Amino acid sequence: MRERTLIWSVVIFILATIAVVANLDLVVSGYKHPPALLRLLQPHLEPARRSLHLREGLDLKGGLQVLLQAEQQGAVPVTAELLERAKAIIENRVNGLGVTEPVVQTQGEDKIVVELPGVSDPDQAIQTIGKTALLEFIYSGTEALAPSTIVETTNPLTIDLLPEGYQEPYLGNPDNPARDFPESWVKPEDVVMPGRGVNPTRLAPTPDANATAASAATPITGTSPTTTTASTDEVTATEGVTATDGTTATTGTTATLPTTSTAAADATTPVTATDALTATEPISTGIIASDETLYPTVLTGDELASASVTLDENLQYAVSFQVKSSAAARMQRFTSQHLQKVMPIILDNAVISSPTLQGAIGAEGQITGQFTKADAESLAAQINSGSLPLKLKVVGQTAIGPTLGSSAISSAVNGGVLGLLIVMLFMLLYYRVPGIVANVALLLYTLFSLTIFRMLPVTLTLAGIAGFVLSIGMAVDANILIFERMKEELRAGRRIAKAMESGFERAWPSIRDSNASTLITCVILFWFGNQFGASIVKGFAVTLALGVLTSMFTAIIVTRLLLKASHSLGLHEGDDGVGVLESSRLRAMFGI
């Protein structure tokens, strides 16, 4: 029995020492936590991320919270795996923004919440994290595209729109590791622009298109048994591929046809709408910068190894990049064969710049385009993190200026300290000696809780602080239950040591059950907050739950130990043979 008491005393003493050292920064300005303490308390974190300072949430130090919802992209459904990938990419981008302590978490089945404390420009941050950020180098022949023009390309995301047989050149790993353009594509005069495979609902042949198609290739007309475009009952299909010399769009000679031409050439075979190569618009090599034109993608951002912000020769911000070795040869070959032609660089289908190829680009190059510093940083971060596999929509946003938060924190902290003092005063006056013991336990509780917040770490929000302060009020609940029981036992004439024991014993079921009910609601609150990125709700649930658990330790084990200690120190002298009730001194000590 004595041994166990001794062991607990040592354990609590060590824990208390650690807690004091961890919280020294509250009183000593400029205090740095010793590295050994970081290693001891945060073995679960990477060394670079270890830090024992109290983390303030968005509502305290300002910042941005964005809730993004994933939308289905083409035929690819939103899966947990894709969401995780998108999350990892966003994390990289956020790190590229230089935000300290960002939080990126998936929420529910299709949402990602991003919290960026202290971000000064929320709008720019949203741009950076939420964009698909598919960077493409495309080919537009001799035409320079104006910045911000929206263009359609043969990029991997639209690949399923391409007719079969045209897809191969664009398919990346792993299906076609040697992704390359057909031989015919790498000579400028042979650059081919396939017509777009059109989905059935768009299959409304215009006379214009028919005429064009007729002049360009053999039209194949057949009744499609599967198509729903019954209004025309006709599916017009042309081979849709015209090789031109780069200037005349529709009058060029018919180009080599990929494999699908065999099916199309047989007029007796019903042609289904989705397989049809339909030219519902003039086929061009990119002379007409309309969204009807499909520009060939030469290289995507995924094929870049790294990017960084630099200054170009005019001292404008630019982004320099390195091409991955797997793609460098192709880039080299393509650019050297297309000198003096335009290779626009586009991001999410919007043109950034339209440089003319002055020389071949091999392993590295530079993107220029009237960037601000923030633009360039954001683009570099996006290239380095890769493009998102999902399209993300902003469905919720909270931006909080720094001034609002700092006034809130001081008021909450002042309130908390005042509340703590009142509770301690009350305990002292009402319960006397046990009250002092409870107050020591309460101080330890506060220190332990703060240390746990630092350790995990828990990000403190206003509601979190409220939850913590509330848990201070509740932490003494266990003590009140125990002491009330003790008083009852003492009034019934029991000896002090016996009264203490049965006080703890009898109060235990109440303490257990009531705390269990609070923990149940905490779990449900956490679940509720987790569904839609309400970190404010989660923060409250976490601090309250940690508070309940910690208080069970301090209010029961610590209090018991201290009471025993006070007993063996002889504070209650005169207890021998005399009931408490007979001694006025003892009555005063226990507030009876």
126-155 residues in contact with another protein (CB under 8 A) are 126-127, 130
Measured from the CB atom, the residue of 38 and 67 that comes closer to another protein is: 67
Whole-angstrom Cα distance, residue 401 to residue 552? Answer: 38
- In whole angstroms, the minimum distance from the beta carbon of 173 to another protein comes to 33
- Shortest distance in whole angstroms from residue 469 CB to another protein: 5
565 binds another protein (CB under 8 A): no
How many Å apart are CA 315 and CA 350, to the nearest integer?
A: 24
**CB contact at 8 A, 530 and 539:** no
Binding mask 511-530 for another protein (x = CB under 8 A): --xx-xxx-xxx-xx-xxx-
Number of residues that bind another protein (CB under 8 A): 71
Stretch of residues binding another protein (CB under 8 A), selected from 233-241, 358-366, 380-388, 417-425: 417-425
Residue among 461, 463, 455, 462 nearest 550 (CA): 455
Q: Which is nearer to another protein, 129 or 283 (CB)?
A: 129
Q: How far is the CB of 94 from another protein (least distance, A)?
A: 16
The residue ranges of DSSP E strands in 195-303, in sequence order, are 220-222, 235-237, 241-243, 253-254, 294-295, 297-300
The secondary structure of residue 218, as a DSSP letter, is: -
* Tokens 């899966």 sit on residue: 79
Cα torsion 216, 222, 223, 226: sign: negative
Burial environment of residue 318 by CB neighbours within 10 A (0 to 12, 13 to 18, 19 or more):
buried
Residue closer to another protein (CB basis): 528 or 553: 528
Preceding omega of 434 cis (within 30 degrees of 0): no
Which helix (H) or strand (E) segment holds residue 319: the answer is strand 317-323
Interacting positions 97-116 with another protein (CB under 8 A): 108
Q: What is the 3-state secondary structure (H, E, C) of 522-577?
A: HHHHHHHHHHCCCHHHHHHHHHHHHHHHHHHHHHHHHHHHHHHHHHHCCCCCCCCC
Whose tokens are 């807690």? That residue is 19
Among 118, 419, 579, 591, the residue binding another protein under the rule CB under 8 A is 419
* Stretch of residues binding another protein (CB under 8 A), selected from 227-235, 257-265, 323-331, 532-540: 532-540
Q: Does 388 bind another protein (CB under 8 A)?
A: no
| Smallest distance from another protein to CB 214, Å | 43
State which residue, 129 or 203, has the beta carbon closest to another protein: 129
Q: Does residue number 406 form part of the binding site for another protein (CB under 8 A)?
A: no
Residue from 69, 227, 354, 559 in contact with another protein (CB under 8 A): 69
Which of 157, 191, 480, 486 touches another protein by CB under 8 A? 480
The structure tokens 């166990």 sit at 4
Q: Which stretch binds another protein (CB under 8 A): 15-23, 25-33, 215-223, 510-518?
A: 510-518
Nearer to another protein, 102 or 165 (CB): 102
**Site for another protein contains 232 (CB under 8 A):** no
- Binding residues among 48-67 for another protein as defined by CB under 8 A: 67
Distance, CA of 544 to CA of 547 (rounded, Å): 5
Of 193-201, 265-273, 378-386, 469-477: span binding another protein (CB under 8 A):
469-477
Distance CA 366, CA 383 (A): 13
Please report how close the Cβ of residue 530 comes to another protein at its closest, in angstroms: 10
Binding to another protein in span 425-464, by CB under 8 A: 426-427, 430, 462-463
Tell whether residue 316 is a contact of another protein (CB under 8 A): no
DSSP-assigned beta bridge partners for residue 306: 322
Element holding 378 (H helix, E strand)? helix 373-385
Q: At closest approach, how far in Å is the CB of 54 from another protein?
A: 17
